[in-house]
Amino acid sequence: QVRLVESGGGLVQAGGSQRLSCAASGSTVSINPMGWYRQAPGKQREMVATISSSGTTTYADSVKGRFTISRDSAKNTLYLQMNSLKPEDTAIYYCNIVHRYTLYWGQGAQVTVSS
């Protein structure tokens, strides 16, 4: 059974940094495509960053140069390093993984950026 558990969310001031973690079990982060998405109140869920099985990364234009997606094979964990945070980054952040053609989601982590 595939399970993803996000952690690292919370309240941070604008301009600050935060790192989200997504611990995986039942699937291997180093060989499966994974991503971070976010959903702000009243808005649709949107892609933030993705990493392919080969390690190719993509980013939403709104976070390019500020956010970095990475993975640790030994810990089987996906990360999202967020720098220069803005109030508009406030959202629930979700990680996902494609495991054997099925998409799995974590439960989400709230990130709130105060101005």
**pLDDT computed for residue 46 by the predictor:** 98
Overall average pLDDT of the 10-19 stretch: 98
Distance CA 18, CA 20 (A): 7
Task: Supply the pLDDT for residue 39.
Answer: 98
Q: Quote the pLDDT of residue 3.
A: 97
**Pairing mode of beta strands 18-25, 3-7:** antiparallel
Average pLDDT, the chain: 97
Considering Cα of 84, then 45, then 111, then 95, what sign does the dihedral take? Answer: negative
49-83 pLDDT, tens digit per residue, is: 999 999 999 999 999 999 999 999 999 999 999 99
For residue 64, the one-letter residue type is K
Kindly state the DSSP code that residue 77 receives in the 8-state scheme.
E
What length does the chain have?
Answer: 115
Alpha carbons 106 and 16: distance in angstroms, whole number: 24
Give dist(CA 67, CA 49) in Å, integer.
8
pLDDT value, residue 77? 98
Give the separation between CA 113 and CA 97, rounded to whole angstroms: 26
Residue range 26-37: mean pLDDT, rounded: 94
